[in-house]
Each structure stands twice: as C-alpha cells, then as structure tokens.
Amino acid sequence: RDAFKRKRYGAGEYDPNFDLFDAAADEIERLRREIVRCDDACFKRDKEIADLRDGYPSRLRMFFHDLRAPINPVMLRDHGRFDYVAHLAAASHVDRSIVDPIGFILDNVLGTGHLLEYVRRNHQDAKTLVFSTDEVFGPAPHGVEYDEYSAHCSHNPYAASKAGSEALCPAYAIT
C-alpha cells in the first residue's frame, strides 16, 4: 500500500485517485476481502500493478478491460459473487477534457453505464460505490461549501461527464 502514498508524477503534481485508492485499500485490508481489479491494461501502469500485487499477493485477482465496452460476464465467472463494487476508473484532468471532450464522455459516462449494467445483471446484491468529483458543482463562491444535494453546474467537459456518471447512479438504484 505504501506505493499508493507516493506521488506519481513529478514537479509536485499527483493523482488524487491514488489517495482515494489508499483509503479504499485501508478498508479492504480491514474487511479482509478479496480484491478483483479491472484495469484497461495501460502499459504505463505496469509498476502500479506490480506494487498492488505485492501489497495483496494472496487476495488480488485482476482482469483487463476497457469500460468503454460492455463487461462480458463470462470473463468474470471464475471470480464468483461480489460483495462490493467500487468504481474509481475515470478520465480526469480538466485541461485534457477540453482537448478531447468525447473521450471523457465515453470514459466517464459510458464506462459508468457499462459497470452499473454489469452489476445490475450479475451482482444485484453488491454494494456499489461510484466516486466522483466536486467539479460537478462548478466554482464555489467564497465561503460556500457544497454537499451531495447541491445542484450541479459543470463548467468544463470533465465536470459534465462526471455529472452524467453521477446521474446514472440513482437511476440504476431506483429502477
């Protein structure tokens, strides 16, 4: 787990998803759950994947899949039932979303839809957590703090794609 506490980039930049994953890793460790991780097989993550396997050698099983495509249940049939599904996969960084907004919509909205649909069809009893961003609320005026019930007012494609992802969650939960 210490690998996820280190900064991932350079010049003081870091990916907050790793901090989030570290918190999730603490919870996984506490619950003593087996981990099944879906990754898009991006080669730049080889070191990250090796570090994760080293941290949980007996409990980590991985499969590689791009969430832009539906998840085939046959691919996961050997993994059994899931108690929890935590969706931390997302395209991030506002600047990149301005250059490639459609890519962000595919990753964040369609990817979330595919994951929720897989869970709905195959693991209805699993507790599902979808992580998002405060960017969905737009810039906060001085002294204002948003909560989960605040209205969305996205100001960039990244925030809008995450708002779309969030909108799918209650729709799947209710129906």
Q: What is the pTM of this model?
A: 0.74
List pLDDT tens digits, range 64-111.
778 888 988 887 777 778 888 888 877 888 999 999 999 999 999 999
SS (H, E, C) the chain: CHHHCCCCCCCCCCCHHHHHHHHHHHHHHHHCCCEEEEECCCHHHHHHHHHHHHHCCCCEEEEECCCCCCCCHHHHHHHCCCCEEEECCCCCCHHHHHHCHHHHHHHHHHHHHHHHHHHHHHCCCCEEEECCCHHHHCCCCCCCCCCCCCCCCCCCHHHHHHHHHHHHHHHHHHC
Looking at the annotation, which residues are catalytic?
134-135, 158
- What's the pLDDT tens digit per position in 8-32? 333 444 444 444 444 555 555 555 5
